[in-house]
Structure 1
Amino acid sequence: MRRIRLGSLAVLAGVIALLVGLISPASAAGSATAPYCGLMWGSLPEGSSATTAGLTVTDVRAGRHACFDRLVVDLHGPAAATGYSVRYVDAVHQEGTGDVVPLAGGAALQVVVHSPAYDGYGRATYLPPSRSEVVDVDGFRTLEQVAWAGSYEGRTTLGVGTRARLPFRTFTLVGAPGDDAVRLVIDVAHRW
């Protein structure tokens, strides 16, 4: 009788362990899905508080990659990282006026570069070809629109319409000393 109870307890413990996943870690690992293209990004705000005097926005470009769409903001000045803030928002607002910038897509990504698009004399260092279409993203999988939200009091803002609230990453590339090229890069994944 005692053997039956011990045997029953062993079987019961085995069933509980199986249910909790202690016996078969392979089956638990098999149920998890691998990240899209190996990307480990999220959709929470990203930023840098780096402060560098003398950097100015000189261009905005976009490109398509196998797993993400890329937006690049080119800056000119001392080869050092610039501050930035990139986040999903309910609406992107025009610098100086606060007017809502209309954006295509299912989500609005606000890109703020802590550098102006004008020099120390107030002359423009970058003027978009169109405020509503800063770069042509027709045919992109994730980026729906890139709009100009202005450059005011030392910062430049772009509104990026994306297909949905998708994972992204943000980083700066700093040129070699004497290169005077700094790039703020925003990659938005095609899917989760």
Structure 2
Amino acid sequence: MRRIRATMAALVLAGAGLGTASTAADAAPAATAGVTACPTGWGSGAKGGAATGAVPLENIRTGRHDCFDRMVFDVPGGGSIGYHVRYVDHLSQNATGRHIPVGGGAVLDVRVGAPGYDPDSGTPTYPGQVGHTLPGVDVRGYRTFRDTRFAGSFEGETQIGLGVRARLPFRVVQLPDRLVIDVAHNWTGSR
């Protein structure tokens, strides 16, 4: 029980730090005597979380950190956004099964419980085009991210492919109005 409470407290503190960030690249790793200690123990297994009232996706953005690369899904007014993130051999579009090529040594299939359209009117809220890179996202020069591909929105869920350098540990953090995915630069926790 103490371990669960400690884990929950750490997540709350991590979420509080993320919630105050004004850009995707604001969070800083802990430092001790000039040495950066990167988070460890995230693992590379599938991760998922339930929704509590998601609304349409408005934006996807990325940022670079000392220890990881970050992707943020902005869903204003969305509450806790549902998600499912896992490594796959290749990205298959949820709606059709169509293979969508994604560059990199490994591919994360990211499904977010927020459609890229207004469910009432069908009007697009996110300008992604199936099979193309994410609009406004340029991952050139990132240590971990290699490619992004929009796989579409279907039945209230948006799917993207995130190409990374190799199968690396990652974490997913649910925050009010956004979902954050961090992929570590390595397995050792060193910079």
Shorter chain as denominator, the TM-score bin is 0.7 to 0.9
Residue 188 of structure 1: aligned partner: 183
Question: Which residue identity does 2:44 align to in structure 1?
Answer: S
Unaligned runs of 5+ in 1: 1-35, 175-181
Residue 144 of structure 2: aligned partner: 142
TM-score for the superposition, normalised by structure 2: 0.73
Residue 170 of structure 1: aligned partner: 172
**Given that residues 128 and 152 in structure 2 are in contact (C-alpha distance below 8 angstroms), is that contact kept between their aligned partners in structure 1?**
no
Q: Structure 1 or 2: larger helix share?
A: 1
Q: Name the SS for the 1:187 alignment partner.
A: strand
Rg (Cα) greater in structure = 1
Question: Which residue identity does 2:102 align to in structure 1?
Answer: L
Q: Name the SS for the 1:76 alignment partner.
A: coil
State how far apart, in whole Å, the 2-side matches of 1:185 and 1:101 are: 23
The alpha carbon displacement at 1:109 in A equals: 0.2
Question: Which residue identity does 2:56 align to in structure 1?
Answer: T
Question: Which residue identity does 1:165 align to in structure 2?
Answer: R
State how far apart, in whole Å, the 1-side matches of 2:39 and 2:80 are: 27
Which stretch shows the higher mean deviation, 88-97 or 108-117?
Answer: 88-97
Computed over aligned residues only, the root mean square deviation of the Cα atoms, in angstroms, reads 1.6
Residue 67 of structure 1: aligned partner: 67
1:58-93 C-alpha deviation (Å, 9 max, x unpaired): 000000000000001111234x10110011011111
Question: Which residue identity does 1:184 align to in structure 2?
Answer: L
State how far apart, in whole Å, the 2-side matches of 1:77 and 1:155 are: 16
Change (3 A) 1:99 1:133: same
Question: Which residue identity does 1:100 align to in structure 2?
Answer: H
Residue 11 of structure 2: aligned partner: none
TM-score for the superposition, normalised by structure 1: 0.73
1:27-57 C-alpha deviation (Å, 9 max, x unpaired): xxxxxxxxx724221000111022415x110
**Given that residues 39 and 67 in structure 2 are in contact (C-alpha distance below 8 angstroms), is that contact kept between their aligned partners in structure 1?**
no
The alpha carbon displacement at 1:131 in A equals: 4.5
Segments of 4+ in structure 1 off by > 4 A?
none
**Given that residues 106 and 163 in structure 2 are in contact (C-alpha distance below 8 angstroms), is that contact kept between their aligned partners in structure 1?**
yes
Q: How does 1:38-77 map to 2 (within 5 A)?
A: 38-53=39-54, 55-77=55-77
State how far apart, in whole Å, the 2-side matches of 1:74 and 1:89 are: 24
**Given that residues 145 and 161 in structure 1 are in contact (C-alpha distance below 8 angstroms), is that contact kept between their aligned partners in structure 2?**
yes
1:9-39 C-alpha deviation (Å, 9 max, x unpaired): xxxxxxxxxxxxxxxxxxxxxxxxxxx7242
Unaligned runs of 5+ in 2: 1-36
Q: Name the SS for the 2:71 alignment partner.
A: strand
Residue 161 of structure 1: aligned partner: 163
